[in-house]
Each structure stands twice: as structure tokens, then as C-alpha cells.
Chain A
Amino acid sequence: MILTAENISKTFNRRTVFREIGFTVAAGQSIAVTGRNGAGKSTLLKILAGLLTPTRGSVRYDVDGSVCGPEEIRASLGFVSPYLQLYDEFSALENLRLLSRMRSATVAADDRCREMLTRFGLWERRDDQVRTYSSGMKQRLKYVVALLDDPQVLLLDEPSANLDADGIAAVSHVYESSQRRILVVATNDRSEAERCELKVHLGTGAS
């Protein structure tokens, strides 16, 4: 799979957040999106995920030379972001089962749920409602949801936010095990950005 962003610009109410951003990332490559607060890192990731439409330019995902449709992109995308919340009134397991049915019409396999929840240290709390989780545990659960179907494209917005040492170690494992996928990381953390092969810096931002 190849992700191509061509001359993307985004404007909100006459304010241009960024203009003419372009890059190409192939499977097995990673790219860091950096920039000051307000530079548009989260906005760019939402555009890459198809949650926002760019004011100008386009985003394209290709597999073997053919352009992917919205449904193919949705099926191959994992996204961890502070803006994506899970359902507080459900347990971790219920969230995984319901969300996987919405995404692919199939209930996530129990073994896969167990593997992912164990990897992120949530297996013991799998039946507790998410409203009882700390912010770090909710962040870990977002990783489980994003990685459950082994996506070909993984978008991480502030990947280490709210995580403790164990959580950060689990995220490191995500970086290391992403050799076959496209990894896009929006961060202001220099060490996280340096792990990525490619970089795009959004110049303007809050002053």
C-alpha cells in the first residue's frame, strides 16, 4: 500500500491551518508529523483518516497500482487520537466486539482480543466499564481497538499521551512491529519523531 498526499491545504473560517503539504509513504515506512501547537498536526491526521475533507489537494491510498475506495481505506486503517473516544458505558471487551462488528461485520476473535488486551495490560480489567478506567488505560484501549484488525495503515496522534512506562514500552513494541505497515505519527516528542524515517514539519502554528 502507498499513501500519497498531494498539495493538501486546510482552511477553517478563512484561517488557513496549513497549505500545500505533500508526501508519499509506502508500506514499511514511517513518517513523523511535527509542528507547534495549532500547526494542524491533528487536522492533517484526520484528513489522512478521511474524517475531514481537505480544502485543496487530495489524499490517495493505492494497492498494486489501483486506488482504494473509502471502504477499503476504512478496513485497513487504525487510528489512535485524543479526539477518538470509546464508549464509557461498555467494558473493554464489549467495546472491542461492538466496534469490530461495526467495522467489518464480524465479531473480533476471543483469542485476538485476549492477546491484544494482555499486551496492553488490560486483560485483568476486561469486564470493567471503561468509565472506571484512568486516562492512561483509556489510551491503551484505543491502541487495542486500532490494532485489533492488524491495520495496514496506523495513524498515531500524540502516541504517548497519558501513558506510564509500561504503556510507553507497549507503544515502542507497536513501532517495532510495524515493518509491514504505513505508520504516521503526529508528535512534538523529539525521540518519537526520530524513530520515523520520513518527516513533515508544519510550519505555522499558534504564536
Chain B
Amino acid sequence: MNVLARTSAVLVKDLLSEIRTRYALNALLMFIITAVAIILFALRGDTPGTVVLAGMFWVVVFFTGMSGLSRIFVSEEERGTALTLQLLAPPGVVYFGKLAFNVLLTLVLVAGVTAVYLVAFPGFIIQTPSIFFVTLLLGSLGLASAATIIAAIVAKAGSRGTLYPVLSFPVVVVLLMTVMNATVKSLDGEEFSAAIVDFVVLISYVMVMTAGSFLLFEFVWKD
């Protein structure tokens, strides 16, 4: 209970901070609009197939996430508050508080990208909503989990801006391939059972990534 209350305190602190500063939300919003506008210009009115649409959807989510999710630790290092957090809360509390914030931010991100896609691309029709929404949920959990530990690593490094997407890609490539595959199935109107294998892969990814990150975090966070 104590740990849960302290973890929620880290989450509340980050939510209030984000509401006040809009560091991550503004970056995410601008990136979504810019990326989708560029895709629309490149397509010149063509209607891409479901494979291309699903691929572009997750490319936008990935790169938008990379622009915003790293702020969670970088802002603490830049403002000099990382040591204050280290002093007050154990690493596990900080990790799960930050992870919860990144999950919420990623859910907002995928909801935003979905809304923009539904308006901007007439061919983006979700024919099996159950597959689509489970994919969004598990994809968000996986992306947030990977992004949180990589953000913690990158925050300690010198060249933060370039390092984040470079480090992230090999870690999330399995996740991206799986969510793209499942999204195609939802756009093609396949049965829910057709995506079960993808969901098993995604659940395994989330569990392994979260457990591994939790074990690694203390060594990344201190010193």
C-alpha cells in the first residue's frame, strides 16, 4: 500500500507537471499533425492499402513517441531534480510511477493518431474494432515500457536527442512488427481469433520488457 501510494505520488507529480508545462503533449501534438500532413502530401490523393496504412500508423506512433516519451527522465536531469527524486523515493517507486505516466501519455498519443487517421485517410476503416483496440492497448504498454527504460538510459548520456530513437529501434522492432501485423488484420476485418498469436507475442513482450526494465532500472538510475 505504501509503495502504491508513493508510486501514485510520482505519477500525480508528473501529470500535474505536464498539465502546467505541456512539455510532452505539445511535442506529441505537433509531431502527429506534421507527420500526417507529410504523408498526405506524399500520397497526392492515392488511397493506400491496409498494409501501408497500418505501417504508416505505427511509424507515426513510434517517431511521435520518441519525440515525447524521453522527456520523462530528461526533464528531471535537465532541471536538477533527479537527485531529489533519488533521495526521496526508491528506484522501484520511481520506475513504476514514470512507467504509469508514459503508459497514459502513449494511450493519449495512439488515441490522437487514430482520430487523425480516421479523418485524414478514408481507407482507414477499422473493421474488427476488438483486434484494433486490444492491439492499441498492448502496443501502448509495450512502447511505454521500452521507452521508459531507454529514456532513463538516455537521460544519463550526453547526446540525448539523437541517441533515443537509435537505441529504441532495435528494442521495439519486434513490437512494431507485431502491432503492424495485428492492425492489418483489424483493417482487413479478420476474426478476433486470427490475432491471438499476435496478442500472445505482445503480452510476452510487455512482461519481459517490464520485468527486465525493473531489474535494470536501479543500476541505470543511481550513479
Complex CA–CA separation, A77 to B89 (angstroms): 12
Cβ-neighbour of B81 out of A46, A79, A85 (below 8 A): A85
B44 within 8 Å of A (CB atoms): no
Q: By the criterion CB–CB under 8 Å, are A87 and B83 in contact? A: no
A51 & B13 in contact (Cβ 8 Å cutoff): no
Kindly list chain B residues whose C-beta atoms are within 8 Å of the C-beta of A49: 87
In the assembled complex, which residues on chain B have CB atoms less than 8 Å from the CB atom of A105?
Answer: 1-2, 5-6, 9
A51/B83 contact (C-beta < 8 A), A74-B88, A98-B12 known: yes
Residue B46 is within 8 A (CB to CB) of chain A in the complex: no
Interface of B is mostly: helix
Within 8 A of B (CB), among A11-54: 46, 49-53
Mark interface residues in B67-98 (1 if CB within 8 Å of A CB, else 0): 00000000000011101111111100100000
How many of B's residues come within 8 Å of A, CB to CB? 26
Q: Which residue of A lies closest to B3 (CB)?
A: A105
B1-34 contact mask (Cβ, 8 Å, vs A): 1 or 0: 1100110011011001100110000000000000
The answer to whether the Cβ of A86 comes within 8 Å of any Cβ in the partner chain is yes
B105-135: CB near A (< 8 Å → 1, else 0) gives: 0000000000000000000000000000000
B144 CB to closest chain A CB (Å) equals 21
Whether, in the assembled complex, A195 has its beta carbon less than 8 Å from a beta carbon of chain B, the answer is no
User: Are B223 and A99 in contact (CB-based, < 8 A)?
Assistant: no
Q: Does A194 contact B (CB under 8 A)?
A: no
Residues of A within 8 A of B89 (CB): 74, 102-103
- Closest 6 A-B residue pairs measured CB to CB? A85-B80, A101-B9, A105-B5, A89-B20, A103-B88, A102-B9
List residues of B whose CB falls within 8 A of some A CB: 1-2, 5-6, 9-10, 12-13, 16-17, 20-21, 79-81, 83-90, 93, 222-223
Q: Give residues in A with beta carbon < 8 Å to B.
A: 46, 49-53, 70-71, 74, 77, 79, 81, 83-90, 94, 98-99, 101-105
